[in-house]
Amino acid sequence: MKTLFQKIIDREIPANIEHEDEHCIVIHDIDPKAPVHFLVIPKKVIPRVAVASAEDQATLGHLLLTAAGVAKKLNLEKGFRVVINNGEDGGETVPHMHVHVLGGRSLSWPPG
C-alpha cells in the first residue's frame, strides 16, 4: 500500500509543490506550525530515519541540502528549524521519512 507521500509524488493527491528533482519533492505542510512550514520528502521510501541504511547516505544528505536551498529561496535567512520525527513517541504520523522545515518567526526551545 502506498504512503500518503507516495500518492503525492505520483500525483494521485494534490499538494502545493515548491520544488522537485529526481531524488525528492518539497511540499508546503497542510497544517503549518510556523508561517513557513514545508516538507522535504525522498522519492525512495525510507520508513524512518532509524532504519535508513548506508545506501541512503547520499539521499539523506541531498534532503538537507535541498532543505537549505528551499529555505533560502523562501527568505528564511534569519533562521529556520529542521525536524525529523522518528517513531510514534517522536511524532511520526506517516511511515515515510521526511524533513520538516519551519521558519518565518522566532522559534522557542525546547520544542513541543
Q: Catalytic: 98?
A: yes
The amino acid occupying position 47 is P
* Separation of alpha carbons 75 and 70, rounded Å: 9
* Separation of alpha carbons 4 and 29, rounded Å: 13
Alpha helices per DSSP H over the chain: 4-9, 57-73
- Which string of b and e fits 73-97 if b means at least 16 CB within 10 Å? ebebeeebbebbbeeeeeebeeebb
The amino acid occupying position 82 is V
| Active-site option among 23, 28, 96, 98 | 98
As annotated, the active-site residues are: 98
